[in-house]
C-alpha cells in the first residue's frame, strides 16, 4: 500500500516549456487535490476532483489544467511554464464526507528559469 505517490520529485523547466505532474493513489479515494506551497503562503488549492471524470477550480487555477481519467490518477499540467510557477506541488486525496482526512504525496519541487 503506497498511499499517494507523485512523479517526478524534482524538475527544472525553462520559461514557456510544458510539463505534466502525475499523482496516483491506491486507497480508492473519491477526492483528489493539487496544492502549491510557497514560503509564508501555506497550501493553496489549484484544482480538485470529486470523482473520476470531474474537475473543478480551486483558489489559484490560472496557468494550470488537470485531468482525472482514472479514479486513481490526477494529472496537473502546465502548458507554458512561468517563473511564478516555481513552487513545491503537493497532491492529496481524501475519502467521502465523514472521512475528510487528507493524505498527501511526497511533493514535486519545480523550478522555472
Partner 1 sequence: GENVEQHPSTLSVQEGDSAVIKCTYSDSASNYFPWYKQELGKRPQLIIDIRSNVGEKKDQRIAVTLNKTAKHFSLHITETQPEDSAVYFCAAPSGGSYIPTFGRGTSLIVHP
Residues that bind partner 1 (CB under 8 A): 31, 33, 35, 40-45, 48, 58-59, 90, 94, 97, 100-102, 104-107
Region for residue 30 given its phi and psi (left: phi exceeds 0; alpha: psi -120 to 50; beta: otherwise):
alpha
Minimum distance between the CB of residue 12 and partner 1, rounded to whole angstroms?
Answer: 18
Minimum distance between the CB of residue 17 and partner 1, rounded to whole angstroms?
Answer: 26
In the complex with partner 1, the residue whose CB is nearer, 16 or 51, is 51
Count, residues in the chain: 113
The number of angstroms, rounded, from the C-alpha of 1 to the middle of its chain's C-alpha atoms is 20
Minimum distance between the CB of residue 80 and partner 1, rounded to whole angstroms?
Answer: 27
Kind of pairing between the strands at 56-57 and 65-67: unpaired
Q: How many CB atoms lie within 10 A of CB 65?
A: 14
In the complex with partner 1, the residue whose CB is nearer, 40 or 69, is 40
Amino acid at each position: 500500500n503506497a498511499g499517494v505517490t507523485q512523479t517526478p520529485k524534482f524538475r527544472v523547466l525553462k520559461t514557456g516549456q510544458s510539463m505534466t505532474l502525475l499523482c496516483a493513489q491506491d486507497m480508492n479515494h473519491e477526492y483528489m487535490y493539487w496544492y502549491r506551497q510557497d514560503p509564508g503562503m501555506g497550501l493553496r488549492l489549484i484544482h480538485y476532483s470529486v470523482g473520476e471524470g470531474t474537475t473543478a477550480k480551486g483558489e489559484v487555477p490560472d496557468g494550470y489544467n488537470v485531468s482525472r481519467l482514472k479514479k486513481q490518477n490526477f494529472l496537473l499540467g502546465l502548458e507554458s511554464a512561468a517563473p511564478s510557477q516555481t513552487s513545491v506541488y503537493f497532491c492529496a486525496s481524501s475519502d467521502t464526507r465523514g472521512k475528510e482526512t487528507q493524505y498527501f504525496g511526497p511533493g514535486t519541487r519545480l523550478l522555472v528559469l
